[in-house]
Structure 1
Amino acid sequence: MSNLAAKRILLGITGGIAAYKSIELIRLLTKAGADVQVVLTDGAKAFVTEMTLQAVSGKPVRSTLLDPTAEAGMGHIELAKWADLIVIAPASADFMARYAQGMANDLLTTLCLATEAPVLLAPAMNQAMWRHPATQANADTLAQRGVLSVGPADGAQACGDVGPGRMTEPADIFTYLNDNLAAESIPQDLNGQHWVITAGPTMEAIDPVRYISNHSSGKMGYALAQAAQLRGAKVTLISGPVTLSAPQGVTLVKVKSADDMLTACQQAMTKTADVFIGAAAVADFKMKSQSHQKMKKQTNRDELQLTLVKNPDIIATIAEQKGANCMVGFAAETQDVIAYAKGKLERKGLDMIIANDVSRSDIGFNQDENQVTVITHEKTWSPEKASKQQLAMQLVEHIYQHTQSSSAD
């Protein structure tokens, strides 16, 4: 049975081309057994019709704040109390601005101010609007007030631009709700803890236009950051170049090279962190000497030799410096996965290592699902294949339990 069964979900739809995606989200929620009530803004009516949404949700659609038929019983307050969860998908820049300012000039903003239920935004807008300092300030303000957010995604937009601003796909929003927000409450047992997490690839420059890197998408590290933050931890996410947006409430530090990442990790630990998770796929080697000009192709040569030197071993360095009470590494391997992972656990001085087989096309790099083996000095645990968001919640719980048992010894 889905975690969303019998949950009362108020779905707010604001004005934007992504509004059509909300029809699929309603279908997924109702199929899972959720009770969905739709609220439209005036702007949303230009993109989707009340009749369509009523047919999909099975309930009349609300859009008017002062509806005489509903307000006889203070209907907008009753609706705010009715909801177990409020989801705004899409959440436009205009809605986020009004919500951040505490305005209550339509039904949806009024409900968000009047409810005690968790509120989740799925932002959707032009990439320039998303990047605008005003929108970023509004997003930060809402996050500080406990409003959750998923996305936006990065990619091609209806206007022809490319960049962050696409609404997260309905299936991913559904997964997030089912895995993270559908429980009666998310334990806040990580309150007061500082988790430092690395994610994504590193990029080692050859010359100003070429570099050495790998296929890491950063999805696993970002999911871990979100899972830890949801349980109350202060999270610093140190990320190589990816196309993901950082979860709201997480401190993002962007880096490129392994040297940059090591420096950022050390700076993040002005005092010892509670947990350090090295989920980044750090390049093993870098150029011994980077060319400051573009290297030209030699027409009389068919080969090019590059001299590489080892990059710093970030997680081993942090472990040696006692940078965190619990050190967790990742081992992305293509053969003898468990044996290599156990070797890294001992060699790098870690408390735990998470091994995954990146030779499989259905998990690992650039995939939405993953399957791992968690290895400590005492035991091995292999959770079932799951979405990276769901797996992240399990891993954070496992790490928390490990730290609790270690401190009790």
Structure 2
Amino acid sequence: MPDSPTAVVTCGPAYEPIDSVRRITNHSTGEIGVFLSDALAARGFQVVCFRGEMASYPAPASARVYPFTTNDSLEVLFDALPKTPSAIFHAAALGDYRVASVEGGKVTNKIRSDLKELVIRLTPATKLLPLLPEKFPHALIVGWKYELDGSRDDALERGRRQIATVGTAASVVNGRAYGEGFGLLEGGEVTHFADKLSLSAHLADWSWRKIVLKA
């Protein structure tokens, strides 16, 4: 459907290189991106999936899939979109830091493996979510908050801060701090979902109502 709204889904891990063979990355299979892409496509969206090239879960057949590596390479994909998206679901596990320098060995293509000690200095990587509302001011943007430390209330409060500081329409909270399942924060309320499939189906219906039905 040429007039269908476009939804962008990001999923899987980014990485930052240490040398030509070693990387700093996050654990993420990219599975949620497949469930989201399938649910959005079934609802009527044209779906673009930006998928970390190290994701282990098979890519969705329901979307146009483009691989990314680093946080910056994902930003390049966003900037190259031919059509402004109506919705963005930013579930990718991006890195918080990149390598600034390596001390204790000369970095060429591969750091020698017989060195006694290496000191890797990290510096903050590009935070992409805060850039999206400025890049796409009319898009419905949903962020993710994966939290391991603290209680469920702590995790939800971090999700609320994400919405307040970034200006997203909603935030999905999960991880050990939240516990089993997922919490969707939107409009000051939290809705619990037991699994990725039910969360994805709800997000597809919810975004369709807001974008297409204006409800």
TM interval, shorter chain, is 0.7 to 0.9
Q: 2:12 maps to which residue?
A: 200
Q: Normalising by structure 1, report the TM-score.
A: 0.47
2:175 matched to 1:357?
yes
Greater length-normalized contact order (CA 8 Å, ≥ 6 residues apart)? 2
Q: 2:158 maps to which residue?
A: 340
**Structure of larger gyration radius:** 1
Matches for 1:72-87 after TM superposition, within 5 Å:
none
**Deviation of residue 324 (structure 1)?**
4.8
SS of equivalent to 1:212: strand
For 1:235 and 1:402, the matched residues in 2 are separated by 17
Q: Which amino acid aligns with 2:79?
A: Q
**Number of aligned residues:** 206
**Deviation of residue 325 (structure 1)?**
1.8
Q: 1:400 maps to which residue?
A: 208
Kept in 1, the 8 Å contact 2:18–2:24? The answer is yes
Q: 1:256 maps to which residue?
A: 69
Change (3 A) 1:284 1:401: same
Kept in 1, the 8 Å contact 2:145–2:173? The answer is yes
Kept in 2, the 8 Å contact 1:225–1:250? The answer is yes
Gaps of 5+ in 1: 1-187, 364-370
Q: 1:305 maps to which residue?
A: 119
2:192 matched to 1:382?
yes
Kept in 2, the 8 Å contact 1:345–1:352? The answer is yes
For 1:324 and 1:248, the matched residues in 2 are separated by 27
For 2:156 and 2:86, the matched residues in 1 are separated by 26
Change (3 A) 1:213 1:359: farther
Q: Normalising by structure 2, report the TM-score.
A: 0.85
Kept in 2, the 8 Å contact 1:272–1:323? The answer is no
Deviations 1:118-141 (A, max 9, x none): xxxxxxxxxxxxxxxxxxxxxxxx
For 1:206 and 1:257, the matched residues in 2 are separated by 12
More helix by share: 1
Q: 1:272 maps to which residue?
A: 84
Deviations 1:36-69 (A, max 9, x none): xxxxxxxxxxxxxxxxxxxxxxxxxxxxxxxxxx
SS of equivalent to 2:80: helix
More strand by share: 2
Kept in 1, the 8 Å contact 2:16–2:95? The answer is yes
Gaps of 5+ in 2: none
Aligned-residue CA RMSD (Å) = 2.5
Deviations 1:347-398 (A, max 9, x none): 11211111112458x85xxxxxxx1111123422223x13x23331122223
Q: Select which of 282, 295, 301 maps to 2:111.
A: 295
**Deviation of residue 272 (structure 1)?**
2.2
Kept in 1, the 8 Å contact 2:85–2:136? The answer is no
SS of equivalent to 2:207: helix
SS of equivalent to 1:306: strand
For 2:35 and 2:62, the matched residues in 1 are separated by 13
For 2:159 and 2:207, the matched residues in 1 are separated by 17
Kept in 2, the 8 Å contact 1:266–1:318? The answer is no
2:133 matched to 1:325?
no
Matches for 1:4-403 after TM superposition, within 5 Å:
192-240=4-52, 241-268=54-81, 270-289=82-101, 291-297=107-113, 299=115, 301=116, 303-322=117-136, 324-334=138-148, 335=150, 336-358=154-176, 371-383=181-193, 385-386=194-195, 388-403=196-211
